[in-house]
Amino acid sequence: MANVIFIAPPAAGKGVQSELLQTNYKMLHVSTGDLLRQEVATETELGGQIKLLMEQGLLVSDEIVISLLTKKLKQSDLSQGYILDGFPRTIEQAQRLDQLTKEIKAEIDYVFFLSVDKDIALKRALGRVTCSNCGTIYNEYFDTFVTPGVCNKCNSILVKRNDDNEEIFSRRFDEYLTKSKPLIDYYIDKGIFHEIDSSKDIMNAFNQIKNIIDKDITHD
């Protein structure tokens, strides 16, 4: 099948697109963040080290991430392909990943960069509200409400995250684009890079991705 990496700035929709690929193609979705949290939950010696680093706000080493990723991919059924979420972030990580995927004969087929207008991404991030009862997620800028501030499904109060603001989001967005430029160039040179316009609706972006994958499947 297809092995995929997503490169995407904040609020570009990487999580949603990963879920859609997983659902439609039965692909394995591997989140390095989840792998780290799962290791912490096992309370192993390594898990303890990771927990300490996270609590101190420090980055987990490439060696640890690659080790966990290697274990996950080698123990999983990759016959339907896989999606890597959150890795790689640097050229060094990409090169280590190349070595691993070549070893397990499951090299990356597609790198999708989700491009999004900064103002739209800002509205997606800062407009997000969640139902305090059923957990349904809405956006104040894009959704219509029967009663303002109330869930359309269960009439419970909608709550908003307060850990982000326009200044913080703008800085994170710009920093991501700057830092990801070398990684983008790396995959362009390998001939597996595809830019996807994710500024429109979710299904528009997914159909762009689906068309690329399905076209190659048809030709195989």
pLDDT at 56: 87
Can you spell out the DSSP letters for 188-217?
A: HHHT-EEEEE-SS-HHHHHHHHHHHHHHHH
Span 22-53, pLDDT tens digits = 999 999 999 998 999 999 999 889 999 999 99
What percentage of the chain reaches a pLDDT higher than 90?
77
Confidence of residue 83 (pLDDT cuts 50, 70, 90): very high
* Ordered structural domains, the chain, with CATH: 2-117+165-219 (3.40.50.300)
Over residues 162-190, the mean pLDDT reads 90
Comparing C-alpha atoms, which of 41, 86, 84, 119 is closest to residue 192?
Answer: 84
On the question of pLDDT at 218 being above 70, the answer is no
**Rounded to whole angstroms, how far apart are CA atoms 90 and 104?**
21
Comparing C-alpha atoms, which of 113, 121, 162 is closest to residue 142?
Answer: 121
pLDDT at 49: 93
Over residues 58-84, the mean pLDDT reads 93
Over residues 118-127, the mean pLDDT reads 92
**Rounded to whole angstroms, how far apart are CA atoms 74 and 53?**
26
Over residues 72-82, the mean pLDDT reads 95
On the question of pLDDT at 161 being above 80, the answer is no
What predicted TM-score, i.e. pTM, was given to this entire model?
Answer: 0.86
Asked if residue 17 lies in contact with residue 205, where contact means CB atoms within 8 angstroms, the answer is yes
3-class DSSP assignment, residue 21: helix
On the question of pLDDT at 109 being above 60, the answer is yes
On the question of pLDDT at 57 being above 90, the answer is no
**Rounded to whole angstroms, how far apart are CA atoms 106 and 1?**
10
Comparing C-alpha atoms, which of 32, 14, 12 is closest to residue 22?
Answer: 14
**Rounded to whole angstroms, how far apart are CA atoms 39 and 82?**
20
Span 126-143, pLDDT tens digits = 998 999 999 998 999 999
- Rounded to a whole number of angstroms, the CA Rg of the chain reads 19
Residue whose tokens read 């995250």: 161
**Rounded to whole angstroms, how far apart are CA atoms 177 and 115?**
10
What are the residue numbers of the active site? Answer: 14, 89, 128, 161, 172
Over residues 160-170, the mean pLDDT reads 80
Comparing C-alpha atoms, which of 207, 17, 200 is closest to residue 120?
Answer: 200
pLDDT at 79: 94
